[in-house]
Amino acid sequence: METLAFALLSAAILLYGGFSRVLQNRSVTAPMAFAALGLLMSDAVFGTLDASVPERVIELVTELTLVLVLFADAARVRVSALMREGSIPARMLLIGLPLAVALGGLAAHALFPQLGWAEAMLLGAVLAPTDAALGQAVITDDAVPAQVRQTVNVESGLNDGLALPMVFILLAFVAPDEASRGAWGWAGFAGQQIVFGAAAGLLAGGLGGKWVEVAVTRGWMTEGFEKLSAVGLALIAFAAAELIGGNSFIAAFAAGLALGAFAGRVCEAVADFGETEGQLLSLITFAIFGFALLPGALAALDWRIAVFAALSLIAIRPLAIWLSLAGVRLHLSTKLFLGWFGPRGLASIVFAVIVAGRTDFAAQDLILNVAAITVALSILAHGLSARPLARLYVGRISGLKADSPEMREFEEIEPSPARFRIDKG
């Protein structure tokens, strides 16, 4: 039956690809299509396929996908441009992301009394990262100001890496086997995960990237292997962190940052990889999500889960972004636009799988089910709304540029693409 599942997935890639432009113009996004395919393939819905896919296979595919996406996204971000004074993406990442985790934790604790504070904050951290792939129509629409497109693009490319430490620290805090560590032991463990992981990644990305750059400059390396080097560097960072006791996902993210800082010439090849092989892995992950996670979540769905999922999309994220942009010269419609387009996708799926597979605690199933329903709702809501809301937003601000040219939406930017290429506008 596994062979049949692979055949169906392969056929779906070819079929959707053949009509991808037509389907995307009708707001049928690839995450929507492949999550639906996975749901149809699941034993709970379709009834003909064996759903007993080994958990380790699911973890391996999803974790590998996140490692490569983290690496590619970080490698393509120009940190100097991001951190310049008054950077809108920086405010959303450094202020908005922690606020989203905190507000999500507060809402989770209120709606689910069985969750402790650490467990509630863990759910908030799992659902804090965003995925630009679910709102790709916004990022690739030239009518949307380049500043706005790049803000959505860069934020979604970096917030999963910044949420990683919070997820793993909170996960360690709620795990029963961590209770005996004590305050100093727990702090030491968290520090080791972050510091050792970052060190492994910086060394792998910096030194490895320099080696690739030298090999390319001197003509020793072919173009094909230049692209494959992205996979090699990400996996070296991942494995090195595991060997020295660091967090392997933090290592992949740090390796991408180091590559972008010290071996920028290689980053174009990384970008090409991220838009091809990386997209393939993402589609497989969305199919796994529909196949392995969504059926159980739908069976457990109740009013509390539905309310939290809706709040996560229409209140928690928009409020966090609104507060993070306080005092920034942006029109109201732009702040609302940036607040809404925070789709939950790949990172939240992988974080939920990690929560399910790395430890065992009482609220584990609840966190997994709430995250799955929130992601499913986001796939549908953001996929359907991306194109029409982009057009509505453009219509509202089209006459404002002449009247308010000083507003931040209309300023010239230094292109710094994270997951999709952005033309300077």
Supply the pLDDT for residue 151: 82
Supply the pLDDT for residue 424: 41
CB within 8 Å of 245: residues ≥ 6 apart: 192, 193, 196
Report if pTM > 0.85: no
Supply the pLDDT for residue 84: 60
Tokens of 173: 């805090």
Supply the pLDDT for residue 287: 87
Supply the pLDDT for residue 423: 43
Please, what are the domains in the chain?
2-410 (1.20.1530.20)
Q: Cα separation of 254 and 203, whole Å? A: 9
What is the residue-level pLDDT of the chain in tens, covering all 425 positions? 566 666 777 787 778 777 777 777 777 788 888 888 888 877 655 554 444 556 667 777 777 887 887 787 777 766 666 666 457 888 898 899 999 999 999 999 999 999 989 899 999 999 998 887 666 667 667 778 878 887 887 787 778 778 888 888 888 778 765 555 555 555 666 667 778 888 888 888 888 888 888 887 888 877 777 777 777 888 888 888 888 888 788 888 888 888 877 766 666 666 666 566 667 778 888 888 888 888 889 999 999 999 999 999 999 999 999 999 988 888 888 889 989 988 888 889 888 888 877 667 778 889 999 999 999 999 999 888 888 888 888 887 776 765 666 677 777 666 554 454 444 44
Q: How far apart are the first and last CA of the chain?
A: 50
Q: Cα separation of 38 and 295, whole Å? A: 10
Supply the pLDDT for residue 147: 80
